[in-house]
Structure 1
Amino acid sequence: MSNSDTLKGNWKQLKGNIRSHWAELTEDDVEGVKGDWQNLVGKIQEKYGIARDKAEEQASNFMRKAKDKLNSTA
């Protein structure tokens, strides 16, 4: 399952963790992502002033850990 699919499919469970992980993201920022991978990466890039590839890397690392947690509770 791709990061995009996991994010969409588990959006309600993940959005609180996203807000905790990236504290610079406001509630409105997270709500605006709406489970869309590209929106998440863009918000991280924008709020933290980092290159897109760095934002992708951070988001991918987050999703890898999130998938592990989701799989361990399933």
Structure 2
Amino acid sequence: MEVNRNITNNNFKIIGDRTINSRLLKNKFSQLTDFDLRFDEGKEIDFLDRVGNRLRKNREEVMDIIKELNIS
């Protein structure tokens, strides 16, 4: 899951195998559910918000977490 982001989050994109990426996130954060990790093309902000709400983090923090996991 490669992250492409800008300051406004309007162009945030997740690229890569979503199954593997979701598994890595779920392994690191066991409180994430399959629903939280559901990703629909074009709904990147919804994904960030769901994960952020579950982890009690904002969008920027979630994007940083994804980037730190070096998911690609």
Higher percent of residues as strand: 2
RMSD of aligned C-alpha atoms? Answer: 2.4
Aligned residue in 2 for 1:66: 71
What is the rounded CA distance, in whole Å, between the counterparts of 1:27 and 1:46 in structure 2? 14
The alignment-based identity, stated in percent, is: 8
Q: Which has the higher contact order (CA 8 A, sep 6+)?
A: 2
- 1:12 paired with 2:19, answer yes
- 1:46 paired with 2:41, answer no
Unaligned ranges ≥5, structure 1: 68-74
- If the length of structure 2 is used for normalisation, what is the TM-score? 0.58
Higher percent of residues as helix: 1
Aligned residues: 61
- If the length of structure 1 is used for normalisation, what is the TM-score? 0.57
What is the rounded CA distance, in whole Å, between the counterparts of 1:12 and 1:56 in structure 2? 18
